[in-house]
Structure 1
């Protein structure tokens, strides 16, 4: 393996001082002429010079690394969110490390400590379900972390940590309103695990939306945000006689639709289905699925902007900022319009 090209090598080849090369390559103010600057950059490119990030970190006190901890990287929403956050980080000159907690509080705790120990400049955290239920331990981890932490997606009602997420309760109400306006009265819901704040918010908002027009759900089935739980709920949905179902994420909606088809039901003629996330189409699934979109691009941009602001200021302020974004209804082909009685 060849020897790594150093700043000294570039300086010798360009016929200038090491200081001049350092100033130019680090884009710092200097009296180096524009002609010399271009010459240094050309030489560095020709010699395949790659900055020594360890040395740069010692000077700038920044690793230019950020970390994202997700509960389940196999979940299409988290995978899509990770990709968009990585894109935002790259545009800002940062690299992103993605780590999977397996929705385990213990694993999440270990990852926060390990990543902070590796010198990342900040941690994006989609909290594990257990952490959402026991925020005291999560707070201890966040406050012990030497770098900024931004909660993403699974917002917890706290004033000690920055967070960016979607208004899940509003999303549930939006789904209920749309189904009622479409003429449905026998309506069911498949929720996620209600220990997770997002699932409870979506379900509660949906039930509130139905209650506003004096409608009680014919069935409420608790799933786990995975495809199989939607599929397995299909029997209960058929038995309830529901004409429409709100699923608290797109994966369960896709599973439910497959289960209904195996039972001989047509969508949306027999049963209308609305999901939540707006992510399935990005992966080639659910192109016709009506859903509540989470504006994943906006969510990623706001989370990254907040993180970079915290890194830049590092002012020690205890005042946390929470950004709550509105959801949107994405109308496609899985909700039928019924005649009003």
Structure 2
């Protein structure tokens, strides 16, 4: 097999009859004092010879790798198409491509054992890239502390905090505002006994949802139970208390509660309204669930924008992306029992 040598700037300079320094200026679009005729001749020769810029040389010249990382604390790819993280990854990819950046995915599965770690081998492996987006619910707080101490530029998808309550750079859904608006809509439809169903009140996302709901419904009762505890007997408990609507923290809880209602011989929303706070962009293709959407794609785009701003000398920021209202069939007017 014949291997063809890469065309160099020296080759272009020789063919065009100019210096290599002039070729370098022209190809980097910095030839402000070079005549237009010369600039055009060099570009034509470069095209004729099939010149392609050496990415390593370009990166050495700029001091950047032109690589952004995506580190995941949990699996983001599922057997089925799409999934919870797919919209976030899609937005990250789109914005990186728009900015001329390549992406490198870190999983650490081979070195970390069951827990994925940025520092699995004692070194910050994210140093391979200029900056990184971090994903996952099972983050290691000490690692975030270390990244901040090192001054390493990163953005977390979702709100995260250091010891002492300091918030790390992040882009998150506007859960609090969307939850308050959702509660107002339920109240407008006559619901007065409303419960919240979720898994962990200590998670920032759950706390934001509850904060928003309590702005509209100060006495809302949170039901913090594991997913496998959502059974017909749980539905009986809700109905015995006169609950007419339940706000659930995601699609897994929504589907589990609907199944439990049906096993009880009842129906959603006729006997119990369910609102989802919130629905990922790849979920609920049938449009059944009411609540609000999670703008994962937009969040991924904003995360990359903030990383590039940091690399250009900008300050670390925290950003909230608005969640859109979801009009579905799972909520109806409250009915007295």
TM-score interval (norm. to shorter): 0.7 to 0.9
Shift of 1:93: 1.3
- How does 1:27-176 map onto structure 2 within 5 Å? 27-45=29-47, 47-72=49-74, 73-74=76-77, 76-100=83-107, 107-110=117-120, 113-118=123-128, 120-126=129-135, 128-131=137-140, 135-144=141-150, 147-156=152-161, 158-159=165-166, 161-176=168-183
Secondary structure of the structure 2 residue equivalent to 1:62 = coil
Task: Tell me the equivalent position of 2:189.
Answer: 182
Task: Tell me the equivalent position of 2:223.
Answer: 220
Report the more deviating stretch, 263-272 or 64-73: 263-272
User: Aligned partners of 2:167, 2:247: CA distance in 1, in Å?
Assistant: 33
* Residue of structure 2 aligned with 1:327, choices 323, 326, 332: 323
Structure 1: stretches of 5+ with no match in the other structure: 224-228
- Per-residue deviation, residues 90-128 of structure 1 (Å, max 9, x unmatched): 11111222334789765244399554331x111122364
Shift of 1:204: 4.4
Q: Which has the higher contact order (CA 8 A, sep 6+)?
A: 2
- CA distance change for structure 1 residues 8 and 204 in 2, over 3 Å: closer, same or farther? same
Secondary structure of the structure 1 residue equivalent to 2:185 = helix
- Per-residue deviation, residues 238-277 of structure 1 (Å, max 9, x unmatched): 2222432212123433454455456654332233222134
Please tell me whether the aligned partners of residues 248 and 276 of structure 2 are also in contact (alpha carbons under 8 angstroms): yes
- CA distance change for structure 1 residues 20 and 176 in 2, over 3 Å: closer, same or farther? same
User: Aligned partners of 1:162, 1:34: CA distance in 2, in Å?
Assistant: 46
- Per-residue deviation, residues 69-101 of structure 1 (Å, max 9, x unmatched): 234414834221121022112111112223347
Q: How many residues align?
A: 321
Please tell me whether the aligned partners of residues 69 and 105 of structure 2 are also in contact (alpha carbons under 8 angstroms): yes
Secondary structure of the structure 1 residue equivalent to 2:85 = helix
User: Aligned partners of 1:37, 1:87: CA distance in 2, in Å?
Assistant: 33
Secondary structure of the structure 2 residue equivalent to 1:188 = strand
Structure (1/2) with the larger helix percentage: 1
1:233 is aligned to 2:241: no
- CA distance change for structure 1 residues 279 and 10 in 2, over 3 Å: closer, same or farther? farther
Please tell me whether the aligned partners of residues 91 and 297 of structure 2 are also in contact (alpha carbons under 8 angstroms): yes
Shift of 1:62: 0.8
Please tell me whether the aligned partners of residues 186 and 243 of structure 1 are also in contact (alpha carbons under 8 angstroms): yes
- How does 1:8-19 map onto structure 2 within 5 Å? 8-14=10-16, 16-19=18-21
- TM-score normalized by structure 1? 0.77
Secondary structure of the structure 1 residue equivalent to 2:195 = strand
User: Aligned partners of 1:266, 1:13: CA distance in 2, in Å?
Assistant: 78
- CA distance change for structure 1 residues 62 and 189 in 2, over 3 Å: closer, same or farther? same
User: Aligned partners of 1:243, 1:167: CA distance in 2, in Å?
Assistant: 25
Cα RMSD for the two superposed structures: 3.5
Secondary structure of the structure 2 residue equivalent to 1:23 = helix
Secondary structure of the structure 2 residue equivalent to 1:268 = coil
Structure 2: stretches of 5+ with no match in the other structure: none
- TM-score normalized by structure 2? 0.77
User: Aligned partners of 1:43, 1:190: CA distance in 2, in Å?
Assistant: 67
